[in-house]
Amino acid sequence: MRADRGGPVIAIDGPSGSGKSTVARAVATRLGLRYLDTGAMYRAATAAVLAAGIDPDDAAAVAAYVPGVELEISTEPAPARVSAGGSDLTTEIRGPAVTAAVSAVSAVPAVRAAMVARQRRLIGAGGIVVEGRDIGTVVAPAADLKVFLTADPAARAARRALETDADVGRTEADLARRDRLDTSRAASPLAQAPDALVLDSTDLDPDAVVAEILAALDRAAAPAGQQP
Ligand code: DC
């Protein structure tokens, strides 16, 4: 991969609340790489659908609309800034209306095809940490390192509730609903690549997860014969 290209591609997949964003940004900062939050792209597409007055459960209308929406997303290692058709959606994509509708919009095959094509263009020659649900399996199966980050449902709900100031019980039920939709959809579901490094962050703080990822990247980069 890859040293002859623009740098490594690191794929970080996993369910909501596993700590992907914090860890992905920290890895990108440590290594001087770009960062792509693909969830923010699906959220921006969802915000555009809602703003256009389209029912997010009307798959045909969503499929006809989303591929034509012009999305812009930042790639520096910081919370993603996104806009669609020139309007800034950075705050709106984290709100409850988008969170409630994003699983339906992101399950539409035409939406996924459009997003995956854009994600591959943004990945370009590499030098990037990409977080999502299908990065190691579909978007960048030749990534230098694939990580599947998970945590038990109660830990994930507690983290999300803290971030969003919401009730933990409601958050856990909402995460369970989104996990179910994200893993059961036909088009590129949330899935673990067979060659992914699986990390459970239930009892690990973000620094420890970052350290594991950097060590795995060193191992992957070491020439054969120098492996411990
Ligand atoms: O990571 P997040 O919670 O911001 O993602 C929002 C939604 O987008 C999530 O419900 C699943 C979907 N998603 C996806 O289907 N594929 C990705 N690569 C990233 C996110």
In a domain, 1, yes or no: no
- If one counts the domains in the chain, the total is 1
- pLDDT of 9 higher than 90: yes
Mutate to test the pocket of ligand 1, among 106, 177, 185 (most ligand atoms within 8 A of CB): 106
CA of 220 to the centre of ligand 1 (A): 27
Mutate to test the pocket of ligand 1, among 37, 89, 91, 133 (most ligand atoms within 8 A of CB): 133
- Which amino acid appears at position 106 of this protein? S
Structure tokens at 144: 């230098």
In a domain, 227, yes or no: no
Indicate if ligand 1 lies below 6 Å from the C-beta of 132: yes
CA of 160 to the centre of ligand 1 (A): 14
Q: Name the β-bridge partners of 10.
A: 129, 145
Mean pLDDT of the region 44-69: 97
In a domain, 2, yes or no: no
In a domain, 37, yes or no: yes
Tell which atom from ligand 1 comes closest to the C-alpha of 40: 4
* CATH number of domain containing 205: 3.40.50.300
DSSP per-residue string spanning 63-84:
HHHGGGS-EEE--SSSSPPEEE
What pTM does this model have?
0.92
Q: Residue 168 belongs to what domain range?
A: 9-221
pLDDT in tens, 112-149: 999 999 999 999 999 999 999 999 999 999 999 999 99
CA of 75 to the centre of ligand 1 (A): 17
Nearest to 37 by CA among 96, 89, 85: 89
pLDDT in tens, 162-185: 877 778 888 888 888 888 888 888
